[in-house]
Amino acid sequence: MPIWASILFVFAGLFSIAGAILDWEWFMTSRRAAMFVRLLGRTGARVLYAILGMFLVGLGAAGGLGYIP
């Protein structure tokens, strides 16, 4: 994985985690997030976005360390 892609994954993951933890209103009312808020409730959507963020950070870190070619 190219280093720029790893960095992008890490930043996207951190952004998702920050949006979930800080409960940004504009983040949770965006069109894509609103679907998950309707399905899972606000707290459930925040947990989902935090888990997604952790996955993206892990994917970026694994790519940056060379575990993913």
Residue ranges of the alpha helices (H) in 1-69?
Answer: 3-21, 25-28, 31-64
Is residue 23 situated within a structural domain?
yes
The pLDDT of residue 1 is: 85
Counting the structural domains of the chain, the total is 1
Is residue 10 situated within a structural domain?
yes
Where residue 66 falls (left for φ over 0; alpha for ψ -120 to 50; beta otherwise) is: left
In the block, tokens 């992008």 appear at: 8
Is residue 13 situated within a structural domain?
yes
Q: Give the structural domain span for 29.
A: 3-64
Of the two residues 69 and 50, the one the predictor is more confident about is 50
Task: Let me know how long the chain is.
Answer: 69
User: Residue range 39-66: average pLDDT?
Assistant: 96
- Using one digit for the tens of pLDDT, what is the confidence trace for 20-49? 999 999 999 999 899 999 999 999 999 999
The pLDDT of residue 69 is: 81
Confidence bin at 60 (pLDDT 50/70/90): very high
Write down the mean pLDDT value for the chain: 94
Is residue 69 situated within a structural domain?
no
Is residue 28 situated within a structural domain?
yes
Is residue 22 situated within a structural domain?
yes
